[in-house]
Amino acid sequence: MNSIPDILSAQRTFFKSQKTKAIAYRLQLLKALKAEIISREQAIYDALKKDFRKPEFESYLSEFGLVLSELNLVIKNLKKWAKPKRVKASILTYPSKDYIYKEPYGNVLIIGPWNYPFLLTIEPVIMAIAAGNTVVLKPSELTENTSKLVSEIINTVFPKEVATSVQGAVDVATELLAQKWDYIFFTGSVPVGKIVAKAAAKHLTPVTLELGGKSPCIIDDTVDLKLAARRIVWGKFLNGGQTCIAADYLIVKDTIKAPLLDMLKKEITRAYGNDPKASVDFPRIINKRNTERLAKALEGADIIFGGDIDMEDRYIAPTLVNEPALDSALMSDEIFGPILPILSYDTEEAIENIIRNFEKPLAFYVFSNNTSFVENTIKKFEFGGGVVNDLLIHFGNHRLPFGGVGASGMGAYHGKLGFDTFSHDKAIVKRGNWTDPPVRYAPYKDKLSLMKKMFKWFG
Ligand code: NAD
């Protein structure tokens, strides 16, 4: 394999050749990627199953299907998105034709996580290539099979001076981050996000950081409990709870806590049976270290449902925990597993007292049929994005930006915004020569009132 500096140097030279600026070339690459992905559909499901027993249905719903629809969207719209956009002239540019040109940043580094190891590596690659950049991708070392397959796909479709996927762990990531990139797109944990931001700052490289956090889910007493419980169980335990936008914990109105708990238990059993370990629909924890971390966080907790652990099998049952203290292990960090703490509230102030303990979360959920409660709540708190009366589904609309705020990340993508993320907006004024109003030129004597009027006319 070529060294990282060699790969980057080849990509720099290629970018300067202007070949990635041609929309037809980008489309050719994206269509080739689509064909390769489609031809490997079953292999992708098999790899995800091998890595953490991800069910094929979830692999389609939350990875393959989403990637394919983003690819189709980009292929359909790229010409339109990439076209210079005319904007109105201003008092200072008139007479002119003013435009925003979409310019690729150049050489992009993408570092991916393990939890959606196909979606969260391939989607940013699609958008970076669509915008005319070159790419080096490093998938996570923890999903050995999927990351190997992702690398094979990238390295089969793209000439290495356009896009390359390198495999490796922290050492490889560290070497990559030591290079000078034109853009870095990172998805992963908050602590590593800080390392990435620091490395990027050295070269003033712009970054997107897609991070995590403790995403709350509030349930008031106006909801249909059965429907709420069904949706919460789906969104929390999908992917074995290893979802950056899963509800990390519930904050439930005290008067409905008991019936909601009953419904949650029923829904877990309905989804995964009496023995979720035997269910083909319930994934495993990614590795032993994370299984141990979750088992440790459960020590001393008031487990009201589930709690079974099989360390060898990397199995943790869907588990409900009653009122953990805010300084307990479960509540100190993002859980990232199939454990759902249930806190209760009596007043809105109590909700605030819980949520304000944590940094701004990536996601936020409120189940309620009380419109003013919903509006007040979603306006009061700062968070990346959220859903009223369901979990996760904001991720699935390419017309919505997906990203965090504060400690949960910076920047956003999906759909056209993904293309925009990897493009610099270059302002171009094409000045007309048919007239040259003399008002701006010195000497300025007697011109100020006319200039003031002109500012008013143009607005
Ligand atoms: P991670 O931060 O441990 O790893 C992510 C990537 O960073 C991997 O490729 C890894 O090899 C690399 N890495 C690890 N240590 C590094 C270091 N010291 N220097 C440079 N690179 C390093 O995250 P993870 O465990 O793969 O993923 C889980 C986290 O990601 C959770 O916090 C989750 O919330 C977050 N996440 C966020 C999103 C999002 O879209 N916002 C999506 C998925 C996951």
**Per-residue pLDDT reduced to its tens digit, 424-439:** 999 999 999 999 989 9
Question: Is pLDDT above 70 for 371?
Answer: yes
Is the CATH code 3.30.465.10 the one for domain 4-211+408-424?
no
CB 117 within 8 A of CB 48: yes
In sequence order, what DSSP letters do the residues of 12-53 get, joined into one string?
Answer: HHHHHTTGGG-HHHHHHHHHHHHHHHHHTHHHHHHHHHHHH-
Taking residue 430's Cβ as centre, other Cβ atoms within 10 Å add up to 12
The chain-wide mean pLDDT, for the chain, equals: 97
DSSP state of 381: S
Enter the tokens of residue 313: 């099998």
Tell me how far the alpha carbon of residue 192 lies from the centroid of ligand 1, in angstroms: 6
Instruction: Work out the pLDDT band at 1, boundaries 50, 70, 90.
Output: low
Alpha-carbon distance of 375 to 352, in angstroms, equals 15
**Domain range annotation of the chain:** 4-211+408-424, 216-403
Question: Is pLDDT above 70 for 393?
Answer: yes
Catalytic-labelled residue, pool 70, 161, 217, 244: 244
Tell me how far the alpha carbon of residue 112 lies from the centroid of ligand 1, in angstroms: 7
Nearest protein CA to atom 14 of ligand 1, as residue: 170
pTM of the prediction? 0.97
Residues 6+ apart with CB under 8 A from 287: 142, 314
Q: Provide mean pLDDT across the span 275-293.
A: 98
Nearest to residue 245, comparing CAs of 133, 412, 37, 423?
412
Ligand 1 pocket check for 169: Cβ under 6 Å: yes
Does the annotation count 217 as an active-site position?
A: no
Ligand 1 pocket check for 112: Cβ under 6 Å: yes
Ligand 1 pocket check for 47: Cβ under 6 Å: no
Instruction: Work out the pLDDT band at 458, boundaries 50, 70, 90.
Output: confident
Instruction: Work out the pLDDT band at 40, boundaries 50, 70, 90.
Output: very high
> Ligand 1: which atom is nearest the Cα of residue 176?
20
Ligand 1 pocket check for 398: Cβ under 6 Å: no
In angstroms, the Cα distances linking 194 to 149, 171, 211, 293 are 28, 16, 10, 22
Nearest protein CA to atom 8 of ligand 1, as residue: 140
CB 233 within 8 A of CB 268: yes
Which residue is listed with tokens 């249905």?
Answer: 57
Q: Provide mean pLDDT across the span 125-142.
A: 98
Burial 48-87 (b: 16+ CB within 10 A, else e): bbebbbbbbebbbebbbebbbebbebbbeebeebbeeeee
Does the annotation count 244 as an active-site position?
A: yes
Give the ranges where 245-370 is alpha helix by DSSP (H): 257-272, 288-298, 329-332, 348-355
Q: Which CATH superfamily is domain 216-403 in?
A: Aldehyde Dehydrogenase; Chain A, domain 2 (3.40.309.10)
Tell me how far the alpha carbon of residue 389 lies from the centroid of ligand 1, in angstroms: 28
Ligand 1 pocket check for 355: Cβ under 6 Å: no
Ligand 1 pocket check for 167: Cβ under 6 Å: no
DSSP state of 454: H
Nearest protein CA to atom 37 of ligand 1, as residue: 211
